[in-house]
A and B are shown apart, each in its own frame.
Chain A
Amino acid sequence: MRRIISILLENEPGALSRVIGLFSQRGYNIETLNVAPTDDPTLSRLTLTTIGDDLRIEQITKQLNKLVDVVKLVDLTEGAHVERDMMLIKVRATGAARDEVKRTTDIFRGQIVDVGPNVYTIQLTGTSDKLDSFVAAMAEADILEVVRSGVAGISRGDKVLSL
């Protein structure tokens, strides 16, 4: 089962490599990874998605919690949450495809953020599923480049991951 694990991490050198290293060292899998500073400069927020049964996920969260640089951790998929993945996708936009790409982008509520004589760069935000669907819908078009941010997530309601 797919899980979204969100971590408050000490903003220390080497902290990220400890998290990543743990996954390779113990044979766990990272599907997506997103990390950036928070409003508190001493903390980073790291969100990763991984796949595993309950036992595996329990081990992953326990092992992550053991890392001294991990301050707090939550498995967002245990409760209601908002998740967003952001994609920049560059597609060839010439001839009939130029209109078709624009139409599909509108349907998915994406934005064309850069226009060239032969290409469009489209920005799209949503769940990973939505981005996957968009890529699938673009199957006819000539996709030149895909960049995704990886999932960032947050719990719904009053629940917060903070110190």
Chain B
Amino acid sequence: MELLSGGEMIARALEDEGVEYIFGYPGGAVLHIYDALFKDCKVPHILVRHEQAATHAADGYARATGKPGVVLVTSGPGATNAVTGIATAYMDSIPMVVISGQVQSHLIGEDAFQETDMVGISRPIVKHSFMVKRTEELPGTLKKAFHIAATGRPGPVVIDIPKDITRPDAKFEYSYPRQVKMRSYSPAQRGHTGQIKKAARLLLSAKRPVIYSGGGVVLGEGSEQLTRLARELNYPVTNTLMGLGGYPGTDRQFLGMLGMHGFYEANMAMHHADCILAIGARFDDRVTNTVEKFCPGAKIIHVDVDPASISKTVMADIPIVGPVDSVLNELLAQIAALREKDAALPDQDALGRWWEQIEQWRAAHGLLTGQRYAQSDLIMPQQVIQSLFRATGGDAYVTSDVGQHQMFAAQYYPFDKPRRWINSGGLGTMGFGLPAAMGVKLAFPDMEVACVTGEGSIQMNIQELSTCTQYNLPVKIINLRNNYLGMVKQWQDMQYEGRYAMSTYEDSLPDFCKLAEAYGHVGIEVHKLEDLDRVMDEVFAMKDKLVFLDVYVDPKEHVYPMHVAPNGAMKDMWLSRNERT
């Protein structure tokens, strides 16, 4: 067996694990590791400009590929800067392995230079964490970390490594384990057959069914099975913000996103449903509105790989714990078996009436069946997304930051494929979009990657324009510029009588085009609607350039529909400034 130092073990283990990129930033406690990477490691390292961006880039990579993103940061501030990105990944169940340096073992607890209790700080926002105490433990610990991060309900895993563990002069035998077995960790491999049978019966007896699917279908590679199930039964499908792309967004059976800024027809269908099949979704407060009023007439089937997600906020009538793909496969088989015995299932008359009702809702207020926003002299933010959709043929990877632009993108860019829509749904992290786009572009250099953002969010990680220069990452930044923190302003309009407390930048915004140019990129401004489509095409014609497209949009526009809160049900929505259900 080969003798390696701790630093060399890490470099080698990342190779053996098949890691494609390391996103990181060096510093004192990880210098042994960096030296080992420099000397002999096939895995390229992407040097970001801030550790938060390393985690978001790894996160974007993970969301686009399904493989764990890998982050390497130093102790102290390196570790704490990574915390927001770890929390972002945790809330959206994204597989990630974060290696943080730690001060030397004998200094731990002495408030040494750049010491922080990373295991302690990250504890509530990781799936699991390790502090490595002996160099010999490194290969096994790394293997476990990747295994835990990627299996079951995925999530971030932190490995904190004191500097002395990686010292170059202490060499130990290295072998990377092929498999990992942990007595205390065994995620469900398949659903309970009896429960799935019950679910099949309930689904087939439904008169007003809705399939409500979330990020779990994307993460669990269940899109194909979900699509088969929905088509087989001709049942309507709605996706959560995290689930977009899990079912083809341009399909007739798709009702759009549901929830706070969900489509009217999706929220109405949910409220009036008699049977809801929830798959890989967690009845988040941004979906349910007031839980007590949530879907009063519905029986609920809830499929999730994480038992703790089931009956957490909304009680499930039929809980099924298991991976979505295998559960859906079995559900499809059970349904086929039941329909073989009784071909009349489900009740086609009832289903016909249900679709008729849904089409009425869709025709009345559907976002994509008519123009639902008022036109002004200015470009409307929705038009920018529609232009982006047109220019990219609906087939781009779209990352977003957090705010109005995120909701407009979710509403007006229907995703036909999973993993194309990359956004921070659970934590709602501004500054996510650009570094996430970098991770996606590295994973799929030949694909179009657009980051839909706003002036607030983009400035939270704008330093990454420099990283994009260094590694030649020609992502397209579409900035919906309204000179406000738009979503904050919207809430201030609706709930605080238009008192814009600290939600405007006055005249302090930079010239984003010049800024982009300063980093060696291209910056373009658009002010007029008649120029929008042409410029959008120009942006995407520049294949090898990062383009910062600064689109001046109507600052008065709000995102609608919007759930009426507090005390509203799914069906209670504002449809415009003065129209509500």
Contact = CB atoms under 8 A, between A and B. Distances in A.
A74 to B, nearest CB: 15
A70 B184 contact: yes
Contacts of B120: 17
A71 B183 contact: yes
Contacts of A63: 308
B124 to A, nearest CB: 5
B91 to A, nearest CB: 13
A55 B119 CA distance: 30
Contact-residue bracket for chain A: 10 to 19
A137 to B, nearest CB: 42
B308 A59 contact: yes
Contacts of A71: 183-184
A149 B232 CA distance: 60
A70 B128 CA distance: 11
Contact-residue bracket for chain B: 20 to 34
A37 interface: no
B131 A59 contact: no
A58 interface: yes
B145 to A, nearest CB: 11
A59 B120 CA distance: 23
Contacts of A163: 183
Contacts of B307: 62, 65-66
B406 interface: no
A70 B312 CA distance: 20
A70 B185 CA distance: 8
A65 B186 CA distance: 10
B311 A55 contact: yes
Interface in A1-50: 10, 13-14, 17-18, 21, 25
Given A17-B120, A55-B311, A68 B182 contact: yes
Contacts of B148: 68
A14 B184 contact: no
A53 to B, nearest CB: 12
Contacts of B499: none
Contacts of B184: 10, 68-71
A105 B121 CA distance: 47
Nearest to A163: B183
Contacts of A14: 119, 123, 129, 131
Contacts of A18: 123
B123 A58 contact: no
Given A13-B131, A62-B308, A68-B148, A25 B124 contact: yes
Contacts of B119: 14
Interface string B301-316: 0000011100110010
Interface in B380-412: none
A21 B182 contact: no
Given A68-B128, A68-B182, A68-B185, A17 B123 contact: yes
A66 B311 contact: no
Interface of B: 119-120, 123-124, 127-129, 131, 133, 148, 182-185, 306-308, 311-312, 315
Enumerate the 4 nearest inter-chain pairs by beta-carbon distance, A residue then B residue, closest first: A62-B308, A71-B184, A68-B128, A25-B124
25 contacts: A10-B184, A13-B133, A14-B119, A14-B123, A14-B129, A14-B131, A17-B120, A18-B123, A21-B124, A25-B124, A55-B315, A59-B308, A59-B312, A62-B308, A63-B308, A65-B308, A66-B306, A66-B307, A66-B308, A68-B127, A68-B128, A68-B148, A68-B182, A68-B185, A71-B183
Interface of A: 10, 13-14, 17-18, 21, 25, 55, 58-59, 62-63, 65-66, 68-71, 163
Given A13-B131, A65-B308, A66-B307, 20 more contacts: A10-B184, A14-B123, A14-B129, A14-B131, A17-B123, A18-B123, A21-B123, A55-B315, A58-B311, A59-B308, A59-B312, A62-B307, A62-B308, A66-B306, A66-B308, A68-B127, A68-B128, A69-B184, A70-B184, A71-B184
